[in-house]
Every structure is written in structure tokens, then in C-alpha cells.
Amino acid sequence: MSAPIRSEYRVVIVGAGVIGLYTAYHLARAGFGPVLVVDRGFLSSGASGRNGGGVRQQWETRATIRLARESVLAYRRFARDFGVNPWFRQSGYLFLAENETELERLRHVHEIVAGEGLPSEILDGSRVARLVPGITPTAAVGGTYLRTDGTLYPFPVVWGLYEAVRSMGVEVLLGAEALGVRSADGRLTGVATTRGTVATRTCVNAAGGWSRDFSERAGLTVANAPTRHEILATEPLKPFLDPMVVRARDGLYFSQTMRGEIVGGISPATRQPLTSAMASSPAFLARMASALVRVLPSLASVGVLRAWSGLYDDTPDGLPVLGEDPRLRGFVHANGFGGHGMMLAPSSTARVARMILGERVDLDPAEFGPRRFDLGQPRRFTEALQLG
């Protein structure tokens, strides 16, 4: 087990998932280093290797739409920029509305999204049926569709970033857990890991589902709450379904991957205890199967190949936490993505990196800042379109 090469780093990033590696990438591109990334697990062992690969731009908050839009552009270029192909496929996201009330709500989102200049569309039942061949007629009276949303394979994104940052001199230590921080006078001075303690004045908490743990190890109470979500994949089928199909009511989502598997999840019926962090549950298999078969009855004859679970790093308002914690100078949050880390990573980490470089960014601290959940602060933004 190797130890960090240096005793001091300009930035230590905790978490080698898509958020941590992308942050390292942006820092390295700006010539800011040396940077050390530590992760307790193996590459892609966390949510970056466990998500459904959706990249959407349909959100209720304008700032998030802008972040997502930039991420879509980044993923379009990803294969060329990083030499690894995540097969980003822009075949749209379709939100289903089961009744007029839901359609009304989607219409409201549509107006915000269209207001940002994106080609969002309102579809009636028959157009939904054309996009989702075989859909139960009662499953949707209509929906919203944004054709430039898409899906990708999460793993190649991790490989591409890993190889890129290492070639730029970033040190990535896998199987190394961050145990806590060293500080003096409210300023971060170092990070303790299972491979030894290193000195640094900047530490990025990009630990995803474990970010709450790490913040607490740094003595900071945070509002993040890790929750377990599950996914299943079916046997590969000949391609018949293009868009990612989602339903806001129960968080059902599913798409057909490049390999032909139907991959999807659904929100748990009850909040999941964390004791079984990475296990699958029989209840999920049944709940997801039931929801899927009701929407697409022909899938009843299709076999489920495997199911797995991962952690969402949820926040009370459904928006990520980005930026330095005023209680501990040098401790930077890049977490709380609530299951949307993959889709928001390229753009949001670019801003985190700029904050570390001391530049101004276009993020409102009231919307993304670490202290926005403090008592007395009125909640100005919430993002309700959470899935899975």
C-alpha cells in the first residue's frame, strides 16, 4: 500500500468519483497543483459507477438548467477530449404525466426550461406512445420531452478522467480513506488518511454518499443525508426505446442502453435505512418490476439480469452544496448532488475549481452555498424533480 508521494499538496480531494476527478481535472488544467485525490474504495465503487447514466437539462431552477446544459456540451466532447468513449447518446428525456394535474406541473417546468432557450416540447398521449412503443394508454395523458437530453455509460467517464488527471500529474490514491482534517484557528492545515497525514490548505469534500461522514470527521455538521437507491438491469433486447422515460410521481425512470438492456429504478416506498448501504432488496425488485410492467406490459416476459444499489447524497432542497465552508477556511464542499452528480459534474466542478483558484463564479450562495440551510434563512430555491 503506497503512501502519498509528497508531504504537502496544494489541494487534497476526498473522493475519486466523477465529482472528485472532474474537480482535479479542472484544477490541473489551470496548472494548479500538486493535487492529491484519495478514495476509500476502488475506482467507480461509489455512485459514479452505480448510476443510471441519465443526463438531463429539465429542472425547475434556472441555475441548475444552465449547469446541466454546460454538462451536456462537455459530454458531447468527452470521447474526443478524453480518449475514452462513454457513448453519450442524445435521445431525450420524456417525463410522463398520468393525469391533467401532473401535466400542468410539467407544463410549468417546461416553461422554465423553454425560457432558457432549450427545445423542450409538450407531448400529447399519442406522441408519447410513439416515443415509447407499447406503453399502456392510461400510463400517460401526455408529457414533456427534451430531445437534447441523453444517456451515457458512467464507467468510461470515470476511466477517462482517471487517465487524464494522472497524465497531468495528479496523484490518485485508491483504497485510502480520509480520516479527518488538521486545522488551526479555523483554517484547514492538513488531511489525515489511512496512508498518513499530508499538509494542505485546501481540501475538497467530494465523497458523495460518504460526504456527511467526512464533514463530521472535520467537525462540521451538515444537512446532507445519504439515502440508498436501487437499480435493475434486464437481459439485452433489440433496441426499441430511445428516450429515458421518467415519472415524477414515484421517481420511476428507465432507458434502454447501447447494449440493449433496460436499466432503471424507482424511489423507495419508505426511506431506506443505511445499515444495508450497498445491498439490494427483494422489495425493490418487486416494486420496480410492478411499475415497469404497468407502464410497458410487453416487458413482463423479459428477465431481470441483476440489481444493485448506490447512495444518493441528498440535501433538503435537492440542490448540491458547492463552495468553501465558512466555519473552516479551506474546507470546500462539492457534494449533495442527490443522485445527479454524473449529470452535473463537468460544469459544477468547473465552478468549484474556479472558487479554489480564487475566481468569482456565477453561483448564488443562497442557492448552492454550504450555509444556506442555517436557521432563519428563507429557502429561496428548491429542486423538486428528483428521481429514483
Q: Which residues bind another protein (CB under 8 A)?
A: 42-45, 49, 79-80, 83-85, 87, 89, 133-134, 155-156, 159, 163, 234-240, 257-260, 269, 276, 278-283, 285-290, 292-294, 297-308
**Smallest distance, Å, CB 164 to another protein?**
13
N- to C-terminal Cα separation, the chain: 37
Which set of grid coordinates corresponds to residue 359?
Answer: 475566481
- Residues 267, 272, 278: CA angle, nearest 5 degrees: 95
- DSSP labels for 207-230? -GGGHHHHHHHTT-----EEEEEE
Alpha-carbon span 179 to 196, nearest angstrom: 10
**Smallest distance, Å, CB 90 to another protein?**
8
Distance of CA 48 to the CA centre of its chain: 7
**Smallest distance, Å, CB 152 to another protein?**
11
Nearer to another protein, 82 or 95 (CB): 82
Nearer to another protein, 69 or 89 (CB): 89
In contact, 335 and 321? CB cutoff 8 Å: yes
Nearer to another protein, 8 or 235 (CB): 235
Nearer to another protein, 118 or 152 (CB): 152
Nearer to another protein, 49 or 320 (CB): 49
User: Which H/E stretch holds residue 203?
Assistant: strand 203-205
**Smallest distance, Å, CB 281 to another protein?**
7
**Smallest distance, Å, CB 353 to another protein?**
25
Alpha-carbon span 157 to 385, nearest angstrom: 24
**Smallest distance, Å, CB 159 to another protein?**
6
Alpha-carbon span 314 to 27, nearest angstrom: 26
Alpha-carbon span 387 to 149, nearest angstrom: 15
**Smallest distance, Å, CB 273 to another protein?**
11
Q: What is the DSSP letter of 89?
A: B
Nearer to another protein, 269 or 357 (CB): 269
Nearer to another protein, 101 or 275 (CB): 275
**Smallest distance, Å, CB 83 to another protein?**
7
Alpha-carbon span 115 to 125, nearest angstrom: 24
Nearer to another protein, 283 or 366 (CB): 283
Task: List all residues 6 or more positions away from 82 whose beta carbon is below 8 Å from its beta carbon.
Answer: 160, 161, 163, 164
User: Which H/E stretch holds residue 204?
Assistant: strand 203-205
Which of 161, 156, 166 is closest to 35 using CA atoms?
166
**Smallest distance, Å, CB 285 to another protein?**
5
**Smallest distance, Å, CB 339 to another protein?**
19
Conformation bin of residue 208: beta by default, left when phi > 0, alpha when psi is -120 to 50: left
Which set of grid coordinates corresponds to residue 353?
Answer: 475549481
Alpha-carbon span 47 to 277, nearest angstrom: 12
Nearer to another protein, 8 or 240 (CB): 240
Which of 155, 203, 204 is closest to 182 using CA atoms?
203
Nearer to another protein, 302 or 361 (CB): 302
